Amino acid sequence: MTPPDGKEKVPVFRAVHHALRREVSKIVGICLAGAIVGWLFDHALLGYSVAVTLYLGIQLRHLRALRQWLEAPKYVELHEPGGIWGDVFEKLLDLQKRNRKRKRKLAAIVSEFQASTAALPDGAVVLGERGEIAWFNKAAQAMLGLRGQQDVGIRIPNLIRNPEFAQYFTDNEYLGEVEVASPINRGVRIAMKIIPYGNNQRLMIVRDVSELRRLETARRDFVANASHELRTPLTVLRGYLDMIEPESRGPGPLAPWRMPLNEMRAQSTRMESLINDMLKLAKLESDVDAKQEVLDVPSVLTRVLEEARAMSLGSHTIEASIDPELFLFGRETEAQSIFSNLVTNAIRYTPPQGRIEVRWFGDEEGAHFTVTDSGIGIADDDIPRLTERFYRVDVGRSRASGGTGLGLSIVKHALQRHEGHLEIQSQLGQGSTFLCHFPPHRVHRAEEPPEKSALAG
């Protein structure tokens, strides 16, 4: 590339001009010498013509050599004529040397890339513009069952015949990754992610996630089994407390134990809530698909709001704006968990005389459920971690109000089961807004509005 100031142009143009001037002087000299020799023999024009023909023959010879060299530069050597052809051949040979150095450098880079990629535990497959395989490492060969050079040039969807992967590949968006069974071993789960780069090229990364899924299954089963096992001793404890507590209310010998027994009952109730939430979360994480149907969300929200007002005991202003014709395709128990947990959290973290607003509405982007409160708010650093299990912003306040730290985790997983996502907006000391977004294909409009449509109050 020529610099803007053009300083490097001057020596180049000067050298070219000098070479052309020498070549023109050479042509004039040859023609003049031929004319003089012909004049001595009384045939000046013939001598001039012979000189021009000789010069043209030399040029054709140089052109022939150049053409042969361009056809096979490895097997034909350029001779070193003088004049302008010598300059041209010299520049071409110099350009050839630079190109060879560049090729060796690029070859070394490619070789280093292939060597480093081959050592990766994850599979790597380089795909061309049409999705054809250009290169792959040993890990990809082992996980996908590729057959060396035989599969190079074959489109990857023709080798991985899985509907989920085919959809992921044809979408051309490559958001996230797709998880499928290995084409050579159905018991192995692999996760694939495609990364576009360069000129319509793509790099596909393949990971074996079988062990990770086994660990998740073991953890989920452990939580579910442990929660079930804890229910039996807890039921026994609750039974004895139910027997003893009435005796502590009178003047009898158990009267001094009234406060400890009340605390034991409160803690057993909290433990029961915790076990129920753990079982609910384990069920949400399981692969068993519960029956889905069109849910009368306004009716569900009616029950949730009635429970919320009973829990608040009139100490909060709860307002609702509900679209009575907006239904949702999903699972009723999970949808109720979403709504109930968010409304309950708003009551727990909003001081008395605070205001809570619940909305259920739809637009072109789908259906939306929002809960806005005037409570204590959440710091920006805490918002990304709110959906973690047992994470609490205010531990003391959460435990005092009966919170288990699993409510927002349940909301997150239940939303994922409905292809939705949770958005949290909050300012410390000014309240919070929790927004649940459901995709348009799950939204249904009721032909006739349900009778219970007056939900505000």
Residue 1: per-residue pLDDT? 43
> What does the alpha-carbon distance between residue 386 and residue 382 come to, in Å, rounded to a whole number?
6
Q: Which CATH class, in words, describes the domain spanning 212-285?
A: mainly alpha
What's the rounded mean pLDDT across residues 395-420? 69
What's the rounded mean pLDDT across residues 293-304? 90
Least confident of 42-56, 165-179, 314-328: 42-56
Residue 400 has pLDDT above 60, yes or no: no
Q: What is the 3-state secondary structure (H, E, C) of 159-212?
A: HCCCHHHHHHHHHCCCCCCEEEECCCCCCCEEEEEEEEECCCEEEEEEEECHHH
What's the rounded mean pLDDT across residues 96-108? 81
- Residue 253 structure tokens: 């010998």
> What does the alpha-carbon distance between residue 384 and residue 255 come to, in Å, rounded to a whole number?
48
Task: Determine the topology of domain 293-445 in CATH.
Answer: Heat Shock Protein 90 (3.30.565)
Whole-angstrom CA distances from 394 to 120, 390, 405 are: 44, 11, 10
Helix (H, G, I), strand (E, B) or coil at 362: strand
Residue 450 has pLDDT above 60, yes or no: no
Residue 413: per-residue pLDDT? 81
Residue 452 has pLDDT above 60, yes or no: no
- DSSP secondary structure, 228-273, as one string: HHHHHHHHHHHHHHHHHHHHHTSSSTTGGGHHHHHHHHHHHHHHHH
pLDDT greater at residue 259 or residue 275: 259
Q: Please report which confidence band the pLDDT of residue 299 belongs to, taking 50, 70 and 90 as the band edges.
A: very high
Residue 52 has pLDDT above 70, yes or no: yes
What's the rounded mean pLDDT across residues 442-450? 68
Q: Please report which confidence band the pLDDT of residue 456 belongs to, taking 50, 70 and 90 as the band edges.
A: very low
Least confident of 73-87, 154-168, 169-183, 329-343: 73-87
Least confident of 148-162, 293-307, 383-397, 421-435: 383-397
Helix axes 332-348, 297-312, angle to 10 degrees: 30
Buried (b) or exposed (e) across 277-301, using 16+ Cβ within 10 A? bbbbbbbbbeeeeeeeeebbbbbbb
Which residue, 106, 107, 146, 98, is CA-closest to 126?
A: 146
What's the rounded mean pLDDT across residues 63-90? 72
The CB density around residue 413, as the number of other CB atoms within 10 Å, is: 19
Residue 14: per-residue pLDDT? 67
pLDDT greater at residue 257 or residue 295: 295
Instruction: With residue 424 as reference, give the H or E element that holds it.
Output: strand 421-427
- What one-character DSSP code corresponds to residue 153? T
- Residue 16 structure tokens: 């070219």
- Residue 365 structure tokens: 């982007």
Q: Please report which confidence band the pLDDT of residue 117 belongs to, taking 50, 70 and 90 as the band edges.
A: low
Residue 3 has pLDDT above 70, yes or no: no
Residue 298: per-residue pLDDT? 92
Whole-angstrom CA distances from 334 to 98, 445, 453 are: 68, 20, 22
Residue 114: per-residue pLDDT? 65
What's the rounded mean pLDDT across residues 42-46? 77
| pTM across the whole model | 0.50
> What does the alpha-carbon distance between residue 327 and residue 295 come to, in Å, rounded to a whole number?
6
pLDDT tens digit sequence for 332-387: 888 888 898 899 888 888 888 889 999 999 988 899 999 999 888 888 777 777 77
- Sketch the domain layout of the chain as residue ranges: 10-109, 120-208, 212-285, 293-445
Bridge pairing between strands 201-208 and 189-197: antiparallel
> What does the alpha-carbon distance between residue 294 and residue 296 come to, in Å, rounded to a whole number?
7
Contacts of 313 (CB under 8 A, 6+ apart): none
Buried (b) or exposed (e) across 359-368, using 16+ Cβ within 10 A? bbebeeebbb
Residue 151: per-residue pLDDT? 85
Q: Please report which confidence band the pLDDT of residue 438 belongs to, taking 50, 70 and 90 as the band edges.
A: very high
Whole-angstrom CA distances from 245 to 33, 270, 272 are: 133, 17, 18
Q: Map tokens 């050579």 to a residue.
A: 184
Residue 395 has pLDDT above 50, yes or no: no
Backbone angles phi, psi at 405, to 5 degrees: 80, 10
Task: Determine the topology of domain 120-208 in CATH.
Answer: Beta-Lactamase (3.30.450)
Residue 402: per-residue pLDDT? 47
> What does the alpha-carbon distance between residue 21 and residue 113 come to, in Å, rounded to a whole number?
50
List 328's β-bridge partners, or say none: 295, 443
What's the rounded mean pLDDT across residues 133-155? 84
Q: Could you give the strand order of the β-sheet that contains 201-208, starting from the edge strand earlier in sequence?
A: 133-136, 123-127, 201-208, 189-197, 178-181
Least confident of 68-82, 138-152, 297-311: 68-82
Average pLDDT, the chain: 78
246 burial (CB, 10 Å; 0-12 / 13-18 / 19+) is exposed
- What one-character DSSP code corresponds to residue 288? P
Residue 142: per-residue pLDDT? 82
Residue 361: per-residue pLDDT? 92
- The rounded percent of the chain whose pLDDT value lies above 70 is 79
Residue 37: per-residue pLDDT? 78
Instruction: With residue 370 as reference, give the H or E element that holds it.
Output: strand 366-373
At position 231, the amino acid (one-letter code) is R
